[in-house]
Structure 1
């Protein structure tokens, strides 16, 4: 796949139902757009299962129509562009979800594209050559999939099954397996939980990033309001590591520049 028109593609895959992939996708997009990066958020879920229904203050007037019954509506979430499915169909089958090329808006440049794949991880992982799973495909530049889990044994067990489902496609170099684990709603692993990880998830435990619990966000879900700062701070180092954000200036450099002025 040629991903160059999308910048860095970040597919956000849920390891288990309700893991918080929509929250992570919004956090990533908010960090990027608040840092002055041009970010596109994509939600390829059936509208009735979307976790980003209220992510924009109002529905945008701009619609792409790749299919007579399946449309893509673009709205603004502050400075990030949000693309969501609209349909007259009762259910959107995976094969009816538009391929990635249809989601690229006619903007000059995208630094990153964040894709929320949390609506049905088992179905997404079934056939990544079509439907929402196409965002996991290998290409240039390489996508950077992340896996989102809850700090619980059942979530880690589900995540292992999802990764195992992706194994055959990764083995034939069709897609990239997630290399970054994000743990929602905790500051550390509860006692005895990490030991439940299978060999695929276990390989991600060392560099796992923990996103703390936020009661207000848990109650309201994603809205048009900016996500809490402490949650954004938790995932900011990941984006810096990937070169999507500049490294913060050290105190010495700031003092040096201040002295020169």
Structure 2
């Protein structure tokens, strides 16, 4: 198919933004009649951004390229409308990590889980599905590895060694917007050689929007399958964060009831040793069901300033997550992993 570009910048004065959006939408829809609306919208946004910087023709080319990339990638995995279960064999234990609220610290928790497993001699795949420019794991490897061919020429996966037993898999694209549908199916993140004990995934996208249709893009890591995945929900010890986490779970609930995804089974609270006073009644029923086994990650001043670097996360932060890994049977039990000991250490005061 040959695309005819509306190659004139006078469009902005004759038709305005509304007319330009209609043109870009038509271009996006030509790539695939089944392209999800979220990808069409993102492709148009990509074109609008390019138009603002480089003109109408460049914006049209970018919209078409973005939509074509999303369409090509989605054809290579389980369809967004499919209720088929996923085959997680070969990934080890899959632990998707999603934020219950913006800035909750999902990337931090992903790195902590990965480093804790690695320090206990587990072979780990650390997956980052975020837009490259907004990734919390962008500097998590000391040296970047090669960018390997992805499911489409505009989408690549770069594999780098974070440490001697952890491979970091990150997305790369030259397009200005990474649509949900451009996130490759999980198999494209897996290294071509070597067995894995665990795969820890930073979902990397706004969980509220992702939960509207979790079967497209990064939400594919939540798919029900064999062996079952173990999703983790991250929040802060505050009323707003707990409230937003409840809404994310509410959106995901219907998908879980349909049997196509697995709801988060673990709550991790970042930046606190225990629940602060004054949170009584702050949680809804969905978050409340996760409170008993809540894991707290203490504040670390260096990480708060530097973010995730190529250095391992501090030992005391890793130690906070180890009881969870012991409870899941991923590492040997330690003397302080009982529920009573964890509750006593954290001085838990449930906000339910």
TM-score, structure 1 normalization: 0.93
Bigger fraction of residues in helix: 2
Deviations 1:17-59, CA, capped at 9 Å, x for gaps = 0001100000011011111110000001111221001001121
1:139 aligns with 2:225: yes
TM-score, structure 2 normalization: 0.69
The correspondence of residues 9-88 of structure 1 with structure 2, limited to 5 A, is: 9-79=94-164, 80-88=166-174
Aligned match of 2:236 in 131, 150, 164?
150
Deviations 1:94-147, CA, capped at 9 Å, x for gaps = 011101121111122100000001431112222121200000011111000010
Runs of 4+ aligned residues of structure 1 deviating over 6 Å after TM superposition are: none
Q: What SS does the aligned partner of 1:123 have?
A: helix
1:246 aligns with 2:246: no
- Asked if 1 retains the 8 angstrom alpha-carbon contact of 2:326 and 2:334, the reply is no
Residues 160 and 249 (structure 1), Cα distance of their counterparts in 2 relative to 1, 3 Å cut: closer
Q: Which has the higher contact order (CA 8 A, sep 6+)?
A: 1
1:204 aligns with 2:297: no
Offset at residue 249 of structure 1 (A): 7.8
The correspondence of residues 102-181 of structure 1 with structure 2, limited to 5 A, is: 102-181=188-267
For the aligned residue pairs, the C-alpha RMSD in angstroms reads: 1.3
Q: What SS does the aligned partner of 1:155 have?
A: helix
- Asked if 2 retains the 8 angstrom alpha-carbon contact of 1:20 and 1:118, the reply is no
- Asked if 2 retains the 8 angstrom alpha-carbon contact of 1:11 and 1:145, the reply is yes
Q: What SS does the aligned partner of 1:226 have?
A: coil
Offset at residue 90 of structure 1 (A): 0.4
> Looking at CA atoms only, which structure, 1 or 2, has the larger radius of gyration?
2
**Count of residue pairs brought into register by the alignment:** 250
Aligned match of 1:92 in 136, 154, 178?
178
Offset at residue 167 of structure 1 (A): 1.1
Residues 217 and 105 (structure 1), Cα distance of their counterparts in 2 relative to 1, 3 Å cut: same
